[in-house]
Structure 1
Amino acid sequence: MTPASDHPAVSVEQPIRPSASFMWRHPAHAIALGFGSGLSPKAPGTVGSLWGWASWLLIQNSFSLQTQAALILLSVGLGWWACTLTARNMAVSDPGAIVWDEIVAMWLILFLIMPAGFMAQLSAFLLFRFFDAVKPGPVAWADRLFKGFGWRGGWGILFDDLVAALCTLLVLALWRWF
């Protein structure tokens, strides 16, 4: 019996470890890898979230509320495409180096809580990292819902982070209310 990898009709791709050259090979890669923040050798999701936070501080001072909201919506659609293509090209269904999901989730959180002081922003960042990393309850459900490659997997990369963002916002709202 011939191993699947030796069979001419079966293609088994080796996962690709992302690099700067991989990132700049296609615009989707640059977006999905957070313009390099996802290339961090340690905690790329945290680095991507920090990049999202820092970039939002520039965005909020440069654009109107309507433009900010449109930017977030467009970034979800653009990210869906970029994450789908990059995951396929890396041959990994949900690579840790893809951090566009963390960036967009941080943008959504900050858009909805601003204006907020540094401590509120830091709390939002820490809560989001908790929900994204630990994946309690609804975040774990969202993470399992869309798996694999193609449009479904690309959406899944984004969806659990959007649910983590909503959980973060819920905790912040309850914290403020009590």
Structure 2
Amino acid sequence: MQRLAVWRNPVHFLAFGFGSGLAPRAPGTFGTLAAIPLYLLMTQLPLWGYVLVLLVSAGAGVYLCGRTARDMGVHDHPGIVWDEFVGFWITMLLVPAHWYWILTGFVLFRLFDIWKPWPIRVVDQRVEGGFGIMLDDVLAGIYALLVLQLLVYLF
């Protein structure tokens, strides 16, 4: 897939995290970084609004990531980072929007996304299509959310 095609196709543009997935190294990390400004906007919403945006984004992500992967002929191209956006937003659910919690959530999500503890690795290897692309990051986000909530409670 040509890099230029990402900018021309709105589905690919979103799946590539507004272009953040085009980073030559660590596109998942850059995708997660690109999710932070949107997270800060989402924190202005009431809880139900945050959850609604999260659910719509996850549902749309199944289509966006699946369609882009099919168009590229690659199951889970590293540049597809919409799943990182959603995973990070899950991580940050009900977390105070202070820089230290954002940094902690970022690190925790990236660790779980890269490490892929059970069952994330199984999902990543066995679940196909857009649902599979999204599901492993949703699970990583849930793991990170649980650890982050514990840290918020303790500190």
Q: If the length of structure 2 is used for normalisation, what is the TM-score?
A: 0.90
What residue number does 1:166 align with?
Answer: 142
C-alpha displacement of 1:176 = 4.5
Partner-residue secondary structure (3-state), 2:94: helix
Change (3 A) 1:65 1:176: closer
Letter in 2 for 1:87: A
1:73 matches 2:49: no
C-alpha displacement of 1:30 = 1.0
What residue number does 2:119 align with?
Answer: 138
Which of 119, 126, 141 is the equivalent residue of 2:107? Answer: 126
* 8 A contact 1:132–1:164 mirrored in 2: yes
Deviations 1:87-133 (A, max 9, x none): 011110100000000001111222332x2422222111101101101
Which of 24, 35, 38 is the equivalent residue of 2:18? Answer: 35
Letter in 1 for 2:106: F
Which of 20, 34, 48 is the equivalent residue of 2:31? Answer: 48
* 8 A contact 2:32–2:85 mirrored in 1: yes
Letter in 1 for 2:148: L
C-alpha displacement of 1:55 = 1.7
How far apart, CA to CA, are the structure 1 residues paired with 2:89 and 2:59? 14
* Percent identity (aligned): 42
Q: If the length of structure 1 is used for normalisation, what is the TM-score?
A: 0.79
Letter in 1 for 2:124: D
What residue number does 1:106 align with?
Answer: 88
Change (3 A) 1:73 1:125: same
Q: Which moved more, 1:116-125 or 1:97-106?
A: 116-125
How far apart, CA to CA, are the structure 2 residues paired with 1:112 and 1:177? 11
Structure with larger Rg? 1
C-alpha displacement of 1:59 = 2.6
How far apart, CA to CA, are the structure 2 residues paired with 1:173 and 1:64? 19
* 8 A contact 1:38–1:48 mirrored in 2: yes
Q: CA RMSD in A?
A: 1.6
Deviations 1:132-166 (A, max 9, x none): 0121222212212303xxxxx11111000000011
Letter in 1 for 2:6: M
* 8 A contact 1:101–1:161 mirrored in 2: yes
> Which blocks of at least 5 consecutive residues in structure 1 are unaligned?
1-15, 148-152
Q: Which moved more, 1:85-94 or 1:167-176?
A: 167-176
Instruction: Number of aligned residue pairs: give it.
Output: 154
Partner-residue secondary structure (3-state), 2:58: helix
